[in-house]
Structure 1
């Protein structure tokens, strides 16, 4: 009688394997947590207050927005050293428009000033970005040289546009993009948090269903549920922190006085989610969808993984380069809008050294300089880690030169760790 051979038991999966978490992402989150705990301890609990987290969030936005575009640039084996200078000229154009030209034509406070100002900045960034992409893609000038020249050119063109002057005050509606003056309030912030939580759960569930349809392996249901709980907890936790930051009484009184009302005794209100942070979230989601769900995104990673094969397969890599640098220019303009609104004026040193911060954020976030590998969420987290380091050192009293030394060291360390990780996993270095 034939006895069937006993089936081998399926190998047990660890908790990490069941959750299918990216170890590189976990390492970044772990580093961020350690940074926060260390600075919170050194500052006697001041680092993890609602006020500091709110300020940290709005200070991160400008660099993080540009870092999402830098991922595409580096993935395709290029570099953009001109992003800080492009931000500066976009800020100069928007400053001239809303302080000098448009008020002279429409009058102060006209509702058309803000949208026309933003449009002017976006067009400026798009044109400069497309020009850079044309030089790189069609004229075959190395991106390093093109953007190094742009670093020297565009900031100084902006200086001539403004005659070297600081421009202000900015349009009142435009300043809402800066952070403190533009927040959603606690009620709307809770609503947005709930909406984003639902969307996150839906995205995770839809991704699971797509894997099932294509007969790919999926996580156990409990692991999928755990990921949903983590996502919802992170979203609602951030909203709860931002909603716990009280608006100062003096500011509330001025708001009531401006409306011709008297502030009730004991009235309290909270800032909630800043408009600039909401803008970053929307851009990060949009860039992630572009990277993962569109033909353009697939072409970007295909060209970065193997440019010759991508070109032989029919991808117009030259036009793709133009589009990538044009997108980078548009993101620089959006960052200029946020940075200028946060400062409440245009200054000629706006965006200084941002090119280094943006590249560092993308690289710390796991974008491979060899091309073909990178994530949007990694770049945003890299920007948050860098800003946390700088803010923490500033609170402790570390001077600016040493802050730059630390950031530079962290960048080199992050690249070294990434190289070691890729060697162990067999990825391209």
Structure 2
């Protein structure tokens, strides 16, 4: 016994314990479900890249049994399509991060698409009526964008908190409250605009839409390098903390492997976006607006869209809230066992108000992105987004039974859904069939999640 104690003490204090596994994947400690989602996304990309390549060769009349040529001729993984795919994903992905908190606490929100429409209508009216006419600042005043965004975010926050109050304090089921909100807020948006399309929106506001606002090539590389440095620092800090608390750590080779994968993902993503060049005519207009003449042969890329930058910032904030704050711990504790959480002193009613207020705020941010991308507010903006957002969260691994979910998973779920829809549109699949496929994928994803949790005991 004395010998055993001596050996254990020496191992604990002289050097940190290391994860011992003959399986390299186990040594990397990567969540198998997350890895599966990344694999599914990669399969979708390859399938549509090959499919579009076959279609391109067929249209040219030079089809041949050559898989390498199919990949080379495909259009799905071109810089242009990757750029468009990212800006199309942002709106749903933003709301999906908030839906994780809602579903984790065993609720649901069916009103997010309609709430987005109301926030968009408030911002459109603020830009075209309130600021230029009521405040007398004119149509091109630089304060239009920030004032309208603030008005939209305040609207989303208050409506979300109101939903949370009805659910938490009046104990009306979230399904009923948000189903009512689906009808109410869609028609409030219609009333605010008189049923008319409002636009064009403010030029500075349009920068948040994607193609009308990017960081540019140089700033995109700066952002990529800063993100890479932050990721490396996070890995180093996590390892140092585990060593300090005498927890097992991954082998050094595993740490370097993960760092390498992160570097390839970040810098590769930035490189692809920078490779999408701005059309010559658009460049000429940009130089003309500056009163300059475009140099002969000048070309440059779009870079990282501002809307994607907003999504990255929101994802980081939401991830920190979920994993590093008391609010996040309370959310997951309440979702895991509401009765025990209340007995432990967690104010679950107030927590419900906070969760739905966050959801409302994210709907407003999503409204900024969605309306800015369209460059106008329309009555059908956000239609069926509630179903897409819920599907993204569920496909991303958020359990409808509550207590389990990740922010990264929800964003990946949104990306997978958008990739399916965009890929099918590129190969000529009609919209009704696209929705059939998305519905099948949603049901299959839930089934896989049930099987996975049974096998892992989660």
Matched residue pairs, number? 421
Indicate yes or no: 2:181 matched with 1:150: yes
Taking the aligned partners of 1:368 and 1:165, their CA distance within structure 2 comes to 39
- Residue 415 of structure 1 corresponds to 446
Structure 2 counterpart SS, 1:31: helix
Tell me if the contact between 1:99 and 1:169 (Cα under 8 Å) persists in the aligned partners.
no
Q: 1:258 to 1:292 in 2, by over 3 A?
A: same
- Residue 269 of structure 1 corresponds to 300
Taking the aligned partners of 1:176 and 1:183, their CA distance within structure 2 comes to 7
Tell me if the contact between 2:127 and 2:139 (Cα under 8 Å) persists in the aligned partners.
no
Q: How does 1:114-193 map to 2 (within 5 A)?
A: 114-193=145-224
Deviation (angstroms), 1:13: 2.5
- Residue 26 of structure 1 corresponds to 35
Structure 1: gaps spanning 5 or more residues = none
Tell me if the contact between 2:214 and 2:305 (Cα under 8 Å) persists in the aligned partners.
yes
Tell me if the contact between 1:64 and 1:280 (Cα under 8 Å) persists in the aligned partners.
yes
Deviation (angstroms), 1:11: 6.3
Indicate yes or no: 2:64 matched with 1:55: no
Taking the aligned partners of 1:355 and 1:201, their CA distance within structure 2 comes to 36
- Note the alpha carbon deviations across 1:189-241, whole angstroms, 9 max, x for none: 00000000000011111111111122211111110111111111100000000
Indicate yes or no: 2:367 matched with 1:363: no
Indicate yes or no: 2:268 matched with 1:259: no
Q: 1:318 to 1:156 in 2, by over 3 A?
A: same
Taking the aligned partners of 2:433 and 2:116, their CA distance within structure 1 comes to 25
From 25, 49, 65, the equivalent of 1:16 is 25
Tell me if the contact between 2:20 and 2:27 (Cα under 8 Å) persists in the aligned partners.
no
From 18, 38, 46, the equivalent of 1:37 is 46
Deviation (angstroms), 1:100: 2.0
Taking the aligned partners of 1:211 and 1:99, their CA distance within structure 2 comes to 54
Taking the aligned partners of 1:117 and 1:366, their CA distance within structure 2 comes to 35
- Residue 382 of structure 1 corresponds to 413
Provide TM-score, normalisation by structure 1.
0.97
From 99, 104, 124, the equivalent of 1:70 is 99
RMSD (Å), alpha carbons: 1.3
Structure 2: gaps spanning 5 or more residues = 8-18, 54-73
Structure 1 segments, 4+ long, off by >4 Å, are none
Tell me if the contact between 2:127 and 2:148 (Cα under 8 Å) persists in the aligned partners.
yes
Taking the aligned partners of 2:438 and 2:241, their CA distance within structure 1 comes to 41
Taking the aligned partners of 1:329 and 1:392, their CA distance within structure 2 comes to 30
- Note the alpha carbon deviations across 1:123-164, whole angstroms, 9 max, x for none: 100010000000010000110010000001101011011000
Provide TM-score, normalisation by structure 2.
0.91
- Note the alpha carbon deviations across 1:93-125, whole angstroms, 9 max, x for none: 001111222122210110111110000100100
- Residue 217 of structure 1 corresponds to 248
Tell me if the contact between 1:56 and 1:391 (Cα under 8 Å) persists in the aligned partners.
yes
Deviation (angstroms), 1:325: 0.1
Q: How does 1:298-309 map to 2 (within 5 A)?
A: 298-309=329-340
Q: 1:157 to 1:12 in 2, by over 3 A?
A: closer
Indicate yes or no: 2:310 matched with 1:286: no
